Amino acid sequence: MKHAFLDNKPILLQPETYNRIPFWRMAARQDQVRCPACASPLRLIAGISFEPYFAHPEGVACPATEQEDSLPPEWQQAQEEAAAAVALVLEDKPTAEDAEETEMIGSFRLPKKRSIGSNAAVPPPAPKPPIFRKRLTPKKSIQHLAEQKRNEVLHPGQQLAVHTTDGPLLILAGAGSGKTRVMTARTAHLIQDLGVEPKKIMVVTFTTKAAEEIRQRIARQLLPSQARELVAGTFHSIFYRMLLHHQPAQWDQQRLLKKEWQKWRLLRETGALLGHDDLLSLKENEALDAFGVVSRWKNEYILPHDAAYREPVSDTERQAQQLYPLYEQAKKKHNWFDFDDMLIGCYEMLRDDPSLLGRYQERITHVMIDEFQDINRIQYETVKLLASPQNNLCVIGDDDQSIYGFRGSDPQYILGFTKDFPNAQTITLEVNYRSHSSIVSLGYSLIGHNRERWEKECRSFHREEGDTYLFEAEDEEEQASRIVDEIMHRREQGAVLGECAILYRTNESARPILERLSEAGIPFHYTQEEDSFYQRQTVRWTLAYLRLALNPDDTDSLKEILPTLYISHEMWNALRSQAILEDLPILHVLPQMTQLKPYQRKHLQAVKDILASCRECSPAQALELIFEDGKLREYLKKRAKNREDGKDRWSDELQQILAAAKRHVTVTDFLQYIEQMAVREKEWRTQRPLPDEAVHVLSIHRAKGLEYDHVFLPDLVEGALPHEYTLDELRKGGSAALEEERRLLYVAITRARHSLCIGIPRERFGRKTRVSRFVAEMGR
């Protein structure tokens, strides 16, 4: 239904009022939106592809619901009243006086119509209302395949790739063109038709999962024993098996440094940094960034003495130059190794032992490498050793999907393969079998803007257009609600949850989405890549302030915020004793402490008063008071300057928590909500077995090689995609990172089979956004 009552006034859903949806949604959550016929609370369902509507909660039978087409007279009247009210409100622009109006909250004066407040009913003076939804039409349309073939038949290009088995072969394949299918069919052809023993075939895949998939397909087509004998896996797994076989003592898994922080700890604990004052004063984050550079160099086979002669392009590189030799020595001395050492170790083992290399070259007669665009130098050099002299080396890749530049991979290897192997044959696979045609067109319209690429003639196997939507939301919270409503709507229409994926560029985008999925009771798969949002220090402090506002006796919360009040542990003990003696809440004893300096006393008195006023505020207003008047923002700013990573994360975190708070009316509600979320988050992190039928929430990097019927891409705004650091590089004149971001979006788009929804929040982290430049590049 399109109409409802809010505070006994009729409201109507029609395009002119769509910009009220966030507010009406919030009112609906608080049961303020009611059915004009039966007066029961209504939910607001506002997704992407369909017109929004109000619905009765499950189990509520209202006879009027089914009669929308032939409205009873009282409904007719309600509808007319609603339309009139809408027209009135639309003309009713806020006056300058209204904008100035303020209200007293405790002893604090706040603007009455501050957008953070509960008074959000006043239409924001936004210059242009958000686009509720529009179809995104690709800039360039690609051709369909003239004649549709049956699903199981290999396309002529694919057939050729399967049957070309001698000598070097480059298969340049666009997204969704059947690379996995070709690799499986080619392996089966080698074994079944050409009689090659499975153990002589090496298939390198990008993930263990992909290797397993190929093994399973081979097991289905041939025999399970043959599948087991295949040398299949990722570079790391294959090379590590070789190292363990020949040098077991050196490569004991117990000695593997898995995480970057372990590397830093090794250096500090072994005293390797002694005498290097510069490095000793490094902050942990700086050290971890420097290790990132070291890892990239190792993947490019740049050893410490070579690295020392490089002209550093940044402070991080300079720190990496200093750190690298010390790290290598410490590792060697204490018998540790890292993932990059596995690659270098295997390469050097083969290079330095011609007889061992000869045995491998005899044993492995055919090498196949998937995702060749993401290969790095050390992997490539090792593969060249193994494949020679026969060079039955088949590499498959798509230069447009190279997204691991930060790990040392370089699309130049795929672009330069035919130079390294002048007798190589090249086959291009240009038909996309995965996605409906408009999705393929959007992808190609976008990627065509990259300069460093192999031009391809792409076509689509499917004639169907597919659904491609762009939608604008007020902020990231509203964006998440729209996506989740859309998923629920599609499930009602028969979509399978496991075929829906939400792909994000950075972890920050996941939080509101996971919360909305949890609230809606929709199962999901999420691989946690970072610590929980609500466990981060900034967020914990903020929540502790709110808890303390509700309960001045909450000593745990007070203890938590002590550093932000510049109170030492000794002072804390004195405080506690005084509070016990005077039988007062500790918070009230705070400003009376004799040890305090006058300015400290003044500040603590202010904090105490602010917290008292917070009880009367909405959570968003309370947070504003704590951040500004309570000086939490000032403290965090100073702290970041003095000791933290220097990145602006704390500020984004404050904005995120503010965005989450806006959805609640009272501080109590908000804190209860967060408690619930913390419990649910624990459940979703530990849930085993994972539900079969669940929405996938994952980063674009992780989605590589996967496919889903319905793909949602939130946060297509400048700073998110393309990422902020890319824009920094662009400002300095480099465009390589921007090209990689474009490839990343291309990968994301081409995961979708039938539908693609792109979200643009008008505000993110409390700041106005700009639509990603990529949107205009791909469509209109």
Ligand X SMILES: Nc1ncnc2c1ncn2[C@@H]1O[C@H](COP(=O)(O)OP(=O)(O)OP(=O)(O)O)[C@@H](O)[C@H]1O
Binding site for ATP, by residue number, is 173-180
Q: Which residues are annotated as a binding site?
A: 173-180
- Please report the DSSP string for 136-162 in residue order: --BSSPPEEPSS---TTSPPHHHHHHH
Smallest gap, in angstroms, from Cβ of residue 381 to ligand X? 25
Residue with the closest Cβ to ligand X? Answer: 178
Smallest gap, in angstroms, from Cβ of residue 158 to ligand X? 6
Which range in 16-24, 149-157, 253-261, 451-459 contacts ligand X by CB under 6 A? 149-157
Q: Residue type at 117?
A: G
Q: Which is nearer to ligand X, 61 or 153 (CB)?
A: 153
Tokens read off for 201: 């075939």
- In the shown chain, the binding pattern of residues 427 to 466 toward ligand X, with x for contact by CB under 6 A and - for none, equals ------xx--------------------------------
Total binding residues for ligand X by CB under 6 A?
A: 20
* Residue 594 touching ligand X (CB under 6 A): no
Torsion of CA 473, 479, 484, 486, to 10 degrees: 30
Size of the chain in residues: 780
Q: Which is nearer to ligand X, 392 or 750 (CB)?
A: 750
In whole angstroms, give the CA distance from residue 660 to residue 467. Answer: 30
Smallest gap, in angstroms, from Cβ of residue 433 to ligand X? 3
Torsion of CA 282, 532, 555, 612, to 10 degrees: 100
Q: Which of 260, 286, 398, 400 binds ligand X (CB under 6 A)?
A: 398
Q: Which is nearer to ligand X, 213 or 652 (CB)?
A: 213
Q: Which is nearer to ligand X, 181 or 298 (CB)?
A: 181
* Residue 54 touching ligand X (CB under 6 A): no
Residues 173-232 that bind ligand X (CB under 6 A): 173, 175-181
In whole angstroms, give the CA distance from residue 239 to residue 488. Answer: 45
In whole angstroms, give the CA distance from residue 432 to residue 178. Answer: 8
Q: Which of 750, 755, 769, 772 binds ligand X (CB under 6 A)?
A: 750
* Residue 155 touching ligand X (CB under 6 A): yes
Match 């090794």 to its residue by tokens: 266
Q: Which of 71, 154, 424, 640 binds ligand X (CB under 6 A)?
A: 154
* Residue 705 touching ligand X (CB under 6 A): yes
* Residue 151 touching ligand X (CB under 6 A): yes
Taking alpha carbons only, the member of 377, 364, 418, 362 closest to residue 395 is 418
Q: Residue type at 763?
A: E
Which residues lie closer than 8 Å to 739 by C-beta, 6 or more apart? 450, 451, 452
Smallest gap, in angstroms, from Cβ of residue 713 to ligand X? 16
Which range in 147-155, 355-363, 436-444, 521-529 contacts ligand X by CB under 6 A? 147-155
Taking alpha carbons only, the member of 695, 776, 718 closest to residue 503 is 695
In whole angstroms, give the CA distance from residue 486 to residue 478. Answer: 12
Q: Are 423 and 167 in contact (CB under 8 A)?
A: yes
Smallest gap, in angstroms, from Cβ of residue 461 to ligand X? 6
Which range in 33-41, 148-156, 302-310, 354-362 contacts ligand X by CB under 6 A? 148-156
Smallest gap, in angstroms, from Cβ of residue 397 to ligand X? 9
* Residue 493 touching ligand X (CB under 6 A): no
Indicate the burial class of 153 (C-beta count within 10 angstroms; 0-12, 13-18, 19 or more).
exposed
In whole angstroms, give the CA distance from residue 470 to residue 716. Answer: 10
H or E stretch at 548: helix 537-550
Q: Which is nearer to ligand X, 431 or 589 (CB)?
A: 431
Taking alpha carbons only, the member of 131, 176, 49 closest to residue 442 is 176
Which range in 152-160, 504-512, 551-559, 565-573 contacts ligand X by CB under 6 A? 152-160
Write out the residues near ligand X by the rule CB under 6 A: 151, 153-155, 158, 173, 175-181, 398, 401, 433-434, 705, 707, 750
